[in-house]
Amino acid sequence: MEKHDELLVALRKVIRAIDLHSKKLEREVGLTGPQLLVMRAITRFDGAMVKEIADDTNLSPATITSILDRLQSRELIIRQRSTEDKRKVGVYLTENGTKALKSAPKMLQEHFIRRFDDLKDWEQSLLVSSMQRLANMMDAEQIDASPLLEIGLVNHPGAPSNNQ
C-alpha cells in the first residue's frame, strides 16, 4: 500500500470512530455532539450569552443560535431577557435540559484528551503540527470547528449550518 493510501485509511478510521460515537450519543440521549457541547457551555455561565457560548466552544454565533433554536424547541433551554439591560438575553438550562445533560455519556474527546495528555511534549507537538498540515492540505483552514470530536459540525464560512 502506498503511503498516501495508509494515511487516507487512518483518516477514514478516525472519521468512522467519530461517526460511530456521534450515533451512539444521539441514540442514548437524543442529543448531537454540538448540542451537548453548547449545553455544557451554558452551565459554565450564569445566564450565558450567545457570544460567551460561541467563545467557549469556538463556534460562530450563528451556529450557536441555530443550536439554541433546536434546544429551545425541545424545551431543554430557555432564553430570558435581562431586566437590567433589555438588549441582553441569557440562556439557561431547563430542568429537562439538566436531566439530559446529567444522563449524557462522556464525549469522545474526553477519552482522547486523557490519552493525548499522557504523550510526551514532543509527541503532542508532532501530532498537532501534522493535523494542522493535513487541514491545510485539505483546504480546511477556514472551516468553523470546535475542539469537539463529532460528525456534522464543520461549516464553510457563510454556509448554512446543519446537523446541530
Beta bridge partners of 79: 91
pLDDT digits (tens, 9 = 90+) for 72-117: 999 999 999 888 888 889 999 999 999 998 888 777 778 888 999 9
The arrangement of secondary structure in 3-137, i.e. its CATH architecture, is: Orthogonal Bundle (1.10)
Closest CA to 134 of 19, 1, 7: 7
Cα within 13 Å of Cα(70), Cβ side:
18
The reported pLDDT for the residue numbered 144 is: 66
The pTM score is 0.69
Task: List pLDDT tens digits, range 107-145.
Answer: 777 888 899 999 999 999 999 999 999 989 988 877 766
First-to-last C-alpha distance (Å) of the chain = 37
pLDDT at 143: 76
Q: Where are the domains of the chain?
A: 3-137
11 or 144, greater pLDDT:
11
Cell of 92: 439557561
Q: Give the three cell numbers for residue 105.
A: 455519556
